[in-house]
Structure 1
Amino acid sequence: QGHYRRCMRRFASSRLFRRTLCVALCQQRCASMSTIDIGANLLDPMFQGHYHGSAKHPTDLYNVLQRAFDPSQRFPLSKVLVTAGSAQEAREAAALCAGDAAVFGPEIADFVPMLYHTVGVHPTRSSEFFRADTTPEKHLAEVREIAEAAKASGKGVALGEAGLDYARLRFAPKEHQLGAFELQLGLAEEMQLPMFLHDRDTGGDFLAMLREHRSRLAGGVVHSFTGSLEEAKALVDLDLSIGINGCSLKTEENLEVVRWLPLERIMLETDAPWCSIRPTHAGFDHISTTWPTKDKKKWSPDACVKGRCEPCHITQVLEVVCAIRGEEDLEAFAQQTTENADAMFFPVADHERGG
C-alpha cells in the first residue's frame, strides 16, 4: 500500500499527469461554454519576449496558453487557430501545433490537442511569390505541399491569411497582391479548405475577386473586420462569415456593423498580440473581465503584458459584442459562435460528434 501511494504521488507530480489533467479539464469545461479564437499570431516574437528586436522578458508562450485554456475561467478556449502569413510561418505553425519540443519546449505538448493553424501568404508578403529566385508557380507548389501535409495531419484547417491590403502597399505592390490572392483562391478551390481572409481599403477589388470564385470555395471568414456596413452586407450575401476582434470594436460605425451581423455569421478572435480593446475604443466600457497586467520590463509569468493582446482576451471581445447587441445570455452566444467556427473549420469533428 505504501508503494502504491508513492507511485501515485510520483504520477501526480509528473508532466504526463499535468498534461492529462489539463486536457481533461479543458474538455470538460469547454463542452458547455467554450469559445474558439479563430485567429492568433502565436508565432509573433512578443510571445518569445522580443519587442522591436529587443529582448524584454523570457519566452512565455506556455504561460499565455495556460491563461487561454484555464478551465477556471468563465469562457476558457477550446481551440486556437494559429495564423500563418508566409510559407515559412506555415511550417513554424505546423511545428507548434505538433508540439515540437526542440523549438517550443516540452511543456508545449500540454496544449497540442487544442492548437490548429492556417497555411497561406498574407497580402503584405505577397512579393514572396515574385522573388528573383523563384516563380509564382514554384512558390505556389511550395505552399501547396505545406497545405497538403497540414490538412493530412488534421492540424491545417484553413488557407490563409490571404487577401488584399491596399493600406500597406509599401510592403507589397498591388499587382503582387492581386496575383498572390488569385493563386491562393485557386489553391483553396483545389484543396477545398475554407479561407482565412484579409481585406483592408481595397476599393471593391477584394469583393470582385471573391464574387468570381465564391461558388467554388469551401467557405471562408473575413477576419478582423473593420469595414463598413455596406461591405459587411455584401460579404454576408456571399455566404461568408465575419471575424470580430478588438479592432472591430473601435468606432461607433464598427459597433453598428456588429449589431447588424446575423448571429450565424459571427466568429470571435483576438488577432493576438494585436487588436487589444483599448480605453479609446467605443466598446471599451462594456468590458467586465480583466487579468493582472504588468509592463514588459516588470514581466511576471502570472500576469499579462501591458499592451499585448492574448487569446484569453477573447472573453473581453465576447463581453463587448454581447453588450452592444443586447445579448443577455453570454453562454448561449459563446456556444453559437463556437458552433459557427466548428462548422467551418472542423466539419469532420462535428460529424463524429453526431452534430
Structure 2
Amino acid sequence: MAHSAAPDPLMAGLAEASNNTAKSTPRYADIGINLSDQIFRGVHYGKRAHDDDLQYVVQRAIEAGVRKMMVTGSDLTESKNAIRLAEDYPGLCYATVGVHPCSAKTFQEYPDGPDALLAELKKLALESRDAGSATAFGEIGLDYDRLHYCDKETQLIYFAKQLDLAIELQMPLFLHSRAAASDFEALLKERLDRLPKRGLVHSFTGTLEEMRNIVDLGFDVGINGCSMKTEENIAVVKEVPLERLQIETDGPWCDMRPSHASAEYLKDAPELPKAVKKEKWSKEFMVKGRNEPCAITRVAWAVAGIKGVSVEEVCEHAWSNSIRMFGLGESPP
C-alpha cells in the first residue's frame, strides 16, 4: 500500500471545520472504521477498479461532521497500516492494535511462533500508544459465527493471551463478540479488576440480556448499521443507556439498507452523497456497496429515532463517551 501524508488543504479544512463547529452542530467520532482496507484505495476484491480515492472519502467525512476516526487494526499488518493512517491524518485518525478472532490462526502461523507475534504486538502497541497514534487495544474477541476462519479453541487461547497483554499495556479495549457471549463475558470477568479502562464492544448485535451484561461489566456499546437490521436489534438499541453508547460505521461494511428495520427511522435523515457502481467511479461520488464514515450521520439519526431523542443529544453523548474512553487527542469532557 502506498502511503502519503494527508494533503495540506484537507487538514486545513478539518481545522477550519472543527473551529467553526457550533455546539448545536452534531460532531461525530467514528470509532470503528476499517479505513486501511484496500477498497478505499480503489482496489476491490484484489483488482484495481478505480483511482485511489481515500482523500475524497476523508473529505466527505469531514464535511459530514466527522471529527475523529478510530481505524481498526485486525492483525499485525493492518494494525501497522492503521497507525500509518493516524500519522498521515494527525488529529483526525487514531489506530487500534490487535488481532481479530477470525485471524487468530496467524499466531500459530507466525514464522517465529505465537509468543513472537505477541511480543511484536506489544512493541507496536507501546510505541504507538506513547506516540499518541494508537488509542485502543483490539480488535480482539470471539466470533463463533465464522468458525470456518478460525476454530473456537484457537480463538479462546489468543483472546485470553491478548487480554493479558492488554492488562500490561493498560489501554482501553476494542472488542468483538459474535454468538459467543458466555465465553466472552467469562474471560472478561476473570480479568475485570485488572482492566480499569474497560473498553467498547463494537458492532453490537447481541440480545438485550447480553447488552445489559456488557454494560453491567462497565463496557460501552458500539452501534452501527449491522446493529439495527432487525426489530430485535432495534429493541436492544432502544435500551442502550446514552451514557454507554458510541457510534460507528464499520465501513466498508455494515452499510444501512432499505431492507433493514432501521430504514423507517431514516425518512427525514440527511441525504448521503450519490453512490455509483465502481465502474462509474468519480471522485465526488460514493461507491455502491462500500460504506463510508460520512454515513455515520444516518447511524446517529436512526439511534435518535429509535430512542425518541434528538440527533444532537445522541451525538453529544456518543462524542463525550468516545473522548472519555479513548481520548482521541482531546481533553476528557
Give the structure-1-normalised TM-score. 0.87
Name the SS for the 2:211 alignment partner: helix
- Alpha-carbon contact 2:181-2:210 (below 8 Å) kept: no
Give distance in 2, aligned partners of 1:232 and 1:311.
24
The count of aligned residue pairs is 321
Give distance in 2, aligned partners of 1:233 and 1:39.
21
Give the counterpart letter for 1:230 in structure 2.
E
Name the SS for the 1:283 alignment partner: helix
Alignment partner, residue 196 of structure 1:
174
Give distance in 2, aligned partners of 1:343 and 1:129.
32
Structure 1 residue 320 corresponds to structure 2 residue 313: no
**CA drift at 1:20:** 5.6
Alignment partner, residue 216 of structure 1:
194
- 2:133 corresponds to which of 155, 163, 171: 155
Structure 1 residue 269 corresponds to structure 2 residue 245: no
Alignment partner, residue 71 of structure 2:
82
Q: 1:179 to 1:20 in 2, by over 3 A?
A: closer
Query: Where do residues 1-355 of structure 1 align in structure 2 (5 Å cutoff)?
Result: 16=8, 18-19=9-10, 21-30=12-21, 32=23, 33-70=26-63, 73=64, 76-99=65-88, 111-131=89-109, 133-202=111-180, 204-217=182-195, 218-287=197-266, 288-290=269-271, 291-327=273-309, 329-346=310-327, 349-351=330-332, 355=333
**CA drift at 1:43:** 1.2
Name the SS for the 2:140 alignment partner: strand
Give the counterpart letter for 1:34 in structure 2.
R
Structure 1 runs not aligned, ≥5 long: 1-14, 100-110
Q: Which runs of at least 4 in structure 1 moved beyond 6 Å after TM superposition?
A: none
Q: 1:31 to 1:346 in 2, by over 3 A?
A: farther
- Alpha-carbon contact 1:119-1:156 (below 8 Å) kept: yes
Give distance in 1, aligned partners of 2:308 and 2:28.
19
Q: Report % sequence identity.
A: 41
**CA drift at 1:168:** 1.0
- Alpha-carbon contact 2:94-2:328 (below 8 Å) kept: no
Q: Higher helix fraction: Structure 1 or Structure 2?
A: 1
**Greater CA radius of gyration, 1 or 2?**
1
Q: 1:42 to 1:347 in 2, by over 3 A?
A: closer
Name the SS for the 2:330 alignment partner: helix
Q: Deviations over 1:179-232 (max 9, x none)?
A: 111111111111110000000011511111111112211211000000000100
Give the structure-2-normalised TM-score. 0.93
Q: 1:347 to 1:296 in 2, by over 3 A?
A: closer
Structure 2 runs not aligned, ≥5 long: 1-6
